[in-house]
Homo-oligomer: A and B are copies of this chain.
C-alpha cells in the first residue's frame, strides 16, 4: 500500500476565539510565500473557553504525533489564559495578538481591551448596518434591474454581459459597505451608439469593466455552450464597442481578465477615491 498524498503535507491549524477569518486571511497571505500545495488547513473557530482550548491543544498534539512534524498554528486568541493553554501543544505558533498588541500598547500609552468578543459588537454597529444596506442595494441594482435608486449609488459598474460586474459589486458592498450598482452594455446600446438612457446623468459614478474577448467567450460558453452569445466573433464585437463607448464618454475602466475580484474592487475604490465605510 502506498501512502496517501496527504502524508507529506504539513498541517496548519487556524485557531481563533471568533470566526477565525482574520487568522485565515493572515495564514493564506503568509503561506502564499511558500508552496501552498504542501499544507493541509484545519479551522478551529470559537475557541473561547479553557475547555475548548484544551481540546484544541490535544488536536494539535495528535497531529504532531501522527505526522512527526510540528503543525503550524496561526492564531488570534485575545484572552491570555486561553492563548497560554493552546500554546502548551507542540506547534509553531504564529499569533497576531501576542505579537502586535504589546508594541501598540507601548506606542499608544494605553492598555488593550483583552476582552474576548470585543469585535463581535460589530453586529450592532453603524458600519455593520451600512454593509447590510449596501449588500441589499447591490442586489436590487444588479444587472440594471432597478433604476430608481441609482442616485444613491456610490458607483455604477458598466460593461458587457459576464465581464465580472456582479461579483465585483457584491464584493464592494460586502467588504467595504460601498453601494455598487451594475448595468450591462448590450448590443442595442452599441447600435444606438449611446449610453443607456438612465446612465448619462450619473456619468461621474460610472466605472467600466472590460475583458479579453477570448476569456469572455470561455466564460459565456460555460453558461450557454455553442451559442451566438458565446461566439468569439460576438465577444470581440461587444468588447470593442464597449471600449469605444467608454473611451468616447470618458468613463474610467480596467480589464478584469487577469485580476481577482479583490484586486478589481480595490482598484475601483482607489480610482474613484471612495474610502469605503466598513
Residues of B within 8 A of A30 (CB): 96-97, 100-101, 104
Residues of B within 8 A of A100 (CB): 30, 94
A243, CB-defined interface residue at 8 Å: no
Q: Determine whether A21 belongs to the interface, using a CB cutoff of 8 Å to chain B.
A: yes
Chain B CB within 8 A of A22 CB:
yes
Asked whether A135 lies within 8 Å of B166 as measured between CB atoms, the reply is yes
* CB-CB contacts below 8 Å: A1-47 with B: 10, 18-22, 25-26, 28-35, 43, 45-46
**Set of chain B residues within 8 Å of A175, measured between Cβ atoms:** 21
A274: min CB distance to chain B, Å = 10
Give complex CA distance A92, B103 in Å: 8
Note all chain B residues with C-beta closer than 8 A to A20: 266
- Are B135 and A170 neighbours in the complex by a CB distance under 8 Å? yes
Counting every copy of the chain, the complex holds 2
* Least Cβ–Cβ distance between A149 and chain B, in angstroms: 13
Chain B residue contacts of A29, Cβ below 8 A:
22, 76, 96, 119
Bound form: Cα–Cα A122–B96 in Å: 24
Does A201 touch B at the CB level, under 8 Å? no
B76 touches A258 (CB 8 A): no
User: A94–B35 Cα gap in the complex (Å)?
Assistant: 24
**When each residue 262-278 of chain A gets 1 if its CB lies under 8 Å from chain B and 0 otherwise, what string results?**
11011101100001000
Instruction: Quote the shortest CB–CB distance from A39 to chain B (angstroms).
Output: 10
Which residues in B have their C-beta under 8 angstroms from that of A103? 92, 94
Q: A223-250 vs B: 1/0 string, CB under 8 Å? A: 0000000000000000000000000000
Binding site for B on A (CB under 8 A): 10, 18-22, 25-26, 28-35, 43, 45-46, 70, 72, 76, 78, 92, 94, 96-97, 99-101, 103-104, 107-108, 110, 112-114, 118-120, 122-124, 128, 131-132, 135-136, 139, 142, 166-167, 170-171, 174-175, 258-263, 265-267, 269-270, 275
Listed A/B pairs (19) with beta-carbon separation below 8 Å: A19-B260, A19-B265, A21-B25, A25-B25, A25-B26, A28-B119, A29-B96, A33-B78, A33-B101, A45-B266, A45-B270, A46-B267, A46-B270, A72-B107, A92-B104, A122-B260, A124-B258, A135-B166, A167-B174
